[in-house]
Amino acid sequence: MQIYNTMTRVKEEFVPIEPGKVRMYVCGPTVYDYIHIGNARPMIFFDTVRRYLEYKGYDVNYVSNFTDVDDKIIKRALQEGVDASVISERFIAECKKDMEAMGVRPATIHPKATEEIGGMIDMIADLIEKGFAYEVNGTVYYRVRTFSRYGSLSGKNLDDLRSGSRSLLVTGEEEKEDPMDFVLWKPKKEGEPSWESPWGQGRPGWHIECSVMSRRYLGEEIDIHGGGEDLIFPHHENEIAQSEAESGHIFTHYWMHNAFLNIDNKKMSKSLNNFFTVREISERYDLTVLRLFMLSAHYRSPLNFSAELMESAKSSLERIRTAVERLEDARGRGRKRPLSATARKAADAFTRKFEAAMEDDFNTADALAALFELVRYTNQLVPKNRSEEELEYLRGKLADMTGILGLRPAEKADLDAQIEALIEERTQARKAKNWARADEIRSYLASQGILLEDTKEGVKWKRA
């Protein structure tokens, strides 16, 4: 299995620290609002990585945190006149609902930053003792220049950063020894949540949170650390500096980062009115459609979100579900003869293509292509009354692929409801004399094996 490692910028053979086990950490959302579709891409992709690793027999310890103390959470809490924990707990619950609807399985553990403060204080104290950090007036800073490998993940040079654009610098004040030093602990401000520490009441900086949570639940060395490419600098760069300075050895063996999601070829932004939450998308689509859309491109390639592409994903998902339904409808009606070597060989070829794509840096786009080849093969065979063993073998292959990709087949009742909805839309189009749309719907249903008959009693339909 080959994984593109952001640290080395090449694909590398995946060799876990401990044979048969994978320790995997993925940065989770800051919970101050509903998650947006940009949050959804890493959630869906790394859930798929986990599923494939488990399919290959690995025992995966998958940790993904919730950042539940942050300036944005505090700001919203002050606006609503409630405690910050009220905001974070509300949106953790809403996030979990959206994750379930997208087919994202719960992590082995979802640690919360506020429940790990003691470990953060301990790590900060250790970094101070070792000379990697210092305290000034209740604020603790990390001495970036004491860590020789700083910039190795992002490819940034400290001197260039300091002399270059101020926007690249970690925020700070004159009390820092160096402008690049970043905050590990900040003193309490009025109205903010705080905890007791050796440096006075305050709260942790963002970067220290993930270092502590990954260490507690996965150990000092982990196999895979993932997240969006926007986290490479400074967040993941700072995680490396903290963790490796404290432990004295490599923190993460494989760094994986997904590319950005754009909206109609523009960066998602509330000011451009092209900002969508997952909850808003769920009002128009089954979120399995969003999942298929997210997996339709390689994770390291930028992905463009548009209504047209979502409609295409919706149609693709319906093709998969129709194939599954046809196999289910044919259950028990196949011929009583054993699975032939020819049929087994043909079905296994699709599995090999699928696995080859996933083994090549989790190329879900090519994996989906292999799945659709299997769908076409299935649709050709079902009407031919093949052997029951052959049909069952195909069911297993489809279940494996859709399970790895998290594309849950719809229940028969759900599929029937979708067909009825399209028929009703066609009826309304005919009433409005929109013959083009009516013909388009009829042709689409025919392509899915659904035949319509217009009668005096209304439209009747059957599966071919």
- Give yes or no: residues 21 and 57 share one domain: yes
- Give yes or no: residues 138 and 18 share one domain: yes
Q: Which residue range(s) make up the domain with 353?
A: 306-405
- Give yes or no: residues 401 and 421 share one domain: no
User: What's the pTM value of the predicted model, to 2 decimals?
Assistant: 0.86
Give the Cα separation of 385 and 298 in Å (integer). 37
Q: What pLDDT score does 277 carry? A: 95
- Give yes or no: residues 312 and 449 share one domain: no
In a domain, 213, yes or no: yes
- Give every residue of the chain whose pLDDT is below 50, as ranges: 165-171, 413
- Give yes or no: residues 432 and 349 share one domain: no
200: left (phi over 0), alpha (psi -120 to 50) or beta: left
In a domain, 174, yes or no: yes
How many C-beta atoms surround the C-beta of residue 182 within 10 A?
A: 25
Q: What pLDDT score does 166 carry? A: 47
- Give yes or no: residues 401 and 423 share one domain: no
Q: What pLDDT score does 448 carry? A: 63
Give the Cα separation of 223 and 295 in Å (integer). 23
- Give yes or no: residues 46 and 139 share one domain: yes
How many C-beta atoms surround the C-beta of residue 57 within 10 A?
A: 7
SS3 of residue 284 by DSSP? coil
List the CATH number of the domain containing 361. 1.20.120.640
Bridge partners, residue 258, by sequence:
228
Residue where one domain finishes, among candidates 405, 422, 454? 405
Residue where one domain finishes, among candidates 371, 389, 405? 405
Number of structural domains, the chain? 3
Q: Which of 215, 272, 218, 206 shows the shortest CA–CA distance to 243?
A: 215
Q: What share of the chain is helix, strand, coil (3-state, %, to 5)?
A: 50, 20, 30
- Give yes or no: residues 319 and 245 share one domain: no
